[in-house]
């Protein structure tokens, strides 16, 4: 019946009908959100910002593996650091897994995605054990510019590095906002946090942040990191810094399939402790 109605709908009326359906969906899900799956668990999301379903391709397969591995690393009572929290996918997983006795520190500098992150926590009633900070992690106290596309600030990426856009031909309507920046290691000491699990996804700024976390890396924390070597400034220097850091902290990179990997691959890795 629905197919027949669609086929009989005159072409000029189809656009208003689609617009009406869109308005109806927005009204229906404004308060309760739409369902979506993360790491095998169901959550609610703001309409238009739910995670994709079973999309084919290595990128999406890595993303699903990342979610599952991250979820399994977290136990009740853990303290979790989500650096580059975006709209809160991993923050939601962490908040549910740690439970009432755990703690989640989410850091997201981009104003638009920060607000959507808050909305997702409220939609899922998971804000009680989460601290959300609108900051950027840097090498010193100060401020940095965060770049995003004005017409699509979520799907167009957020980054402190404009190369994240120019390399993908996404320079149209590129705008920036200045946000506070803090050295992450000192910040965690100031708020008295020692994370058990860390997730880092900050579009090429990961080396400086990892260096600031050297004391944490020397411990037993489980560290997930999305490597963006194509966005590193002075890649050879950055690679030497990362290799040195891994040697000092007795860690090595392993991909999400449990295989040792190299640091010049754009992929999520786990920095495993050597036995």
Tell me: the pLDDT tens digits for 205-246?
888 889 999 999 999 999 999 988 888 878 888 899 999 999
Per domain, the residue ranges of the chain are: 51-273
What's residue 131's pLDDT?
95
Three-state SS for the chain is CHHHHHHHCCHHHHHHHHHHHHHHHHHHHCCCCEEEEECCEEEEECCCCCCCCCCCCHHHHHHHHHHHHHHHHCCCCCEEEEECCCCCHHHHHHHHHHCCCCEEEEECCCHHHHHHHHHHHHHCCCCCCEEEECCEEECCCEEEEEEEECCCCCCCCEECCCHHHHCCCCCCCEEEEEEEEEEHHHHHHHCCCCCCEEEECCCCCHHHHHHHCHHHHCCCCEEEEECCHHHCCCHHHHHHHHHHHHHHCCEEEEECCCCECCCCCCCEEEEEECC
pLDDT band at 6 (very low <50, low <70, confident <90, very high): very low
- What is the pLDDT at residue 59? 64
pLDDT of residue 28: 53
pLDDT of residue 105 exceeding 50: yes
Q: Is the pLDDT of residue 274 over 80?
A: yes
pLDDT bin (cut points 50, 70, 90) of residue 140 is: confident
* Higher pLDDT pick, 116 / 167: 116
**pLDDT score recorded for residue 235:** 83
Tokens of 87: 């709209």
Q: Is pLDDT above 80 for 156?
A: no
Average pLDDT, the chain: 81
Q: CA 205 to CA 201: how far, in whole Å?
A: 9
pTM score of the predicted model? 0.83
Residue 228 is predicted with a pLDDT of: 85
Q: Is the pLDDT of residue 155 over 70?
A: no
**CATH architecture type of domain 51-273:** 3-Layer(aba) Sandwich (3.40)
> Who has greater pLDDT, 74 or 171?
74
Q: What's the pLDDT at 145?
A: 81
pLDDT at 184 over 70: yes
pLDDT > 80? residue 15: no
Which range, of 8-17, 128-137, 213-222, 255-264, averages the lowest pLDDT? 8-17
- Supply the pLDDT for residue 72: 96
> pLDDT at residue 250 above 80?
yes
- Do the Cβ atoms of 269 and 224 come closer than 8 Å? yes
Measure the CA–CA gap between 45 and 25, rounded to whole angstroms: 13
Give CA separation, 26 vs 45, 46, 87, 113, 114, in Å. 12, 9, 18, 19, 20
152 Cβ contact list (under 8 Å, min separation 6) = none
């Amino acid at each position: 019946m629905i197919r027949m109605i669609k086929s009989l709908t005159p072409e000029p009326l189809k656009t208003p009908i689609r617009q009406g359906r869109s308005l109806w969906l927005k009204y229906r899900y404004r308060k309760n959100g739409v369902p979506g799956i993360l790491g095998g668990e169901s959550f609610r999301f703001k309409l238009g910002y739910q995670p994709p379903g079973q999309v084919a391709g290595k990128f999406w397969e890595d993303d699903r593996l990342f979610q599952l591995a991250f979820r399994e690393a977290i136990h009740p009572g853990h303290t979790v650091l989500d650096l580059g929290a975006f709209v809160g996918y991993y923050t939601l997983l962490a908040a549910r897994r740690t439970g009432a006795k755990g703690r989640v520190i989410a850091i997201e500098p981009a104003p638009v995605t920060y607000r959507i992150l808050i909305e997702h926590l409220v939609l899922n009633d998971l804000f009680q054990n989460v601290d959300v900070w609108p900051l950027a992690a840097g090498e010193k106290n100060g401020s940095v510019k965060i770049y995003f596309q004005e017409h699509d600030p979520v799907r167009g990426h957020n980054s402190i590095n404009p190369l994240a856009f120019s390399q993908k031909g996404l320079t149209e309507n590129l705008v920036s906002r200045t946000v506070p920046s803090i050295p992450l290691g000192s910040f965690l000491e100031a708020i008295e946090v020692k994370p058990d699990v860390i997730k880092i996804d900050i579009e090429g700024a990961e080396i400086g942040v990892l260096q600031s976390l050297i004391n944490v890396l020397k411990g037993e924390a489980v560290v997930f990191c999305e490597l963006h070597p194509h966005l590193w400034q002075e890649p050879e220097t950055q690679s030497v810094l990362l290799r040195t850091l891994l040697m000092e902290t007795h860690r090595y990179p392993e991909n999400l399939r449990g295989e040792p990997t190299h640091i010049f691959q754009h992929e999520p890795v786990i920095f495993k402790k050597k036995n």
